[in-house]
Structure 1
Amino acid sequence: MVKRNPVMRRIRLEYFEWIWYTGIALLLALVVRTFLFQPVPLSGPSMLPTFHQGNWVVINKWIYALYQPKRGEIVIFYGPHQRIYIKRVIAVGGDIIEAHGGKIYINRKQVQERYLSHTYTTNFPPQKVPVGKLFVMGDNRLNSLDSRDFGPISIKQLVGRADLIIWPWAEMKWIGKVGDSR
């Protein structure tokens, strides 16, 4: 009859517990990243001065399952050629947007863009944003590929909303819900 070593049995049990808890943690991390929140690196100058090259932001992926996007929010979406873009919502479905004299107007009222230190927008004629679509623009208006180039985007193209800058540490801050920019 073989005697079982209680010490070895305990070591094996602890080993399997570690594997079990590590597997659960990895599964939870995968679920959170896939459906709830995801960190992403940013590149390009189109959102200066709000974001800088090399910033990392956390995307809130579930927010638009509960709420409609609002003017002023910063969204991440799939644009032309399935590239991922980050832009600010300027107008929502039903709005009439135009730019003249370097300023943006929504429904004939000038937009107060307090989130920008200075802004100048190239002129474009009035256009109505279709229901279910968003007119998005980069904060760096003179160096941004956005709805002025590829038209309003569908709400279905959204990946989520940028909620938090997490890198570099010195620039960490909540972006969150900016809301109506008028």
Structure 2
Amino acid sequence: MEQRNWLRELVEATLIGALVFVAIQVAVVNFRVEGSSMNPTLMPGHYLMVNKLVYFQLDTGRLGRIIPFWRPAEPRNAYLGRSPHRGDVIVFDYPRDTERQFVKRIIGAPGDTVAIANGSVSINDERLDEPYLKVRGNTDYGPLTLARDEYFVLGDNRTGSQDSRDWGTLTADHIIGKVWVVYWPQSAWGLLR
């Protein structure tokens, strides 16, 4: 009888461990910073935990076909957490080569008009306060009004970053998730705001 209880506990522990493992794999992805485009916020060699669930989208039309007695007023994609916001540091599939992932900061969100004059970014004709920058650079760009599903992303190291100024806007379907934690090296550990 003792051996049977022990076997049952082993199976339960294995199943719980497997469920936790799958949940973590669905919710979080690890990312290693390779370049200097996000200096001084993120440095080469930093390891990041990226929250994939915050931007997860539900198809309410499909959900309405599955859940009995519920029909959405207007079938659409709805975010499980929230939509990407200006200022979020995100990891995404590079639009020109989806085998590569980049990390950048969202500067412009859908509907925004982005303009850069002598390195200073304006959103909807208001200068953007960017305390995370050490050097603005002297870039000129735009103005550009973002479509319903477009984001404008820039690196924090403006003089050493290839970003939306070079390859254009980013659509939501390329976004993997929001950078949540720097977990290595230990000296850099902390939540990213």
Distance 1:128 1:164 in 2: 31
| 2:35 alignment partner AA | G
Quote the residue 1:6 is aligned against: none
| 1:47 alignment partner AA | M
Please state whether the residue corresponding to 1:52 is helix, strand or coil. coil
Which structure 2 residues correspond to residues 1-182 of structure 1 after superposition, within 5 A? Answer: 10-11=2-3, 13-15=5-7, 17-34=9-26, 36-64=27-55, 65=79, 66-79=81-94, 80-82=96-98, 83-176=100-193
Please state whether the residue corresponding to 2:97 is helix, strand or coil. helix
Q: Give the number of aligned pairs.
A: 167
Distance 1:121 1:136, change over 3 A: farther
Distance 1:42 1:30 in 2: 24
RMSD: 1.7
Please tell me whether the aligned partners of residues 135 and 159 of structure 2 are also in contact (alpha carbons under 8 angstroms). no
Q: Which runs of 5+ in 1 are unaligned?
A: 1-8, 177-182
Distance 2:103 2:87 in 1: 13
| 1:164 alignment partner AA | V
Distance 1:55 1:103, change over 3 A: same
Quote the residue 1:180 is aligned against: none
Q: Which runs of 5+ in 2 are unaligned?
A: 56-78
Percent identity over paired residues: 28
- Post-superposition CA distance 1:103-137 (Å, at most 9, x none): 11111221110122332241113111111110001
- How much has 1:58 moved relative to structure 2? 1.1
Please tell me whether the aligned partners of residues 91 and 101 of structure 2 are also in contact (alpha carbons under 8 angstroms). yes
- How much has 1:51 moved relative to structure 2? 0.5
| 1:14 alignment partner AA | W
Moved more, 14-23 or 43-52: 14-23
| 1:162 alignment partner AA | V
| 2:90 alignment partner AA | V
TM-score, normalized by length of structure 1?
Answer: 0.83
Moved more, 22-31 or 65-74: 22-31
Please state whether the residue corresponding to 2:20 is helix, strand or coil. helix
TM-score, normalized by length of structure 2?
Answer: 0.79
Quote the residue 2:75 is aligned against: none
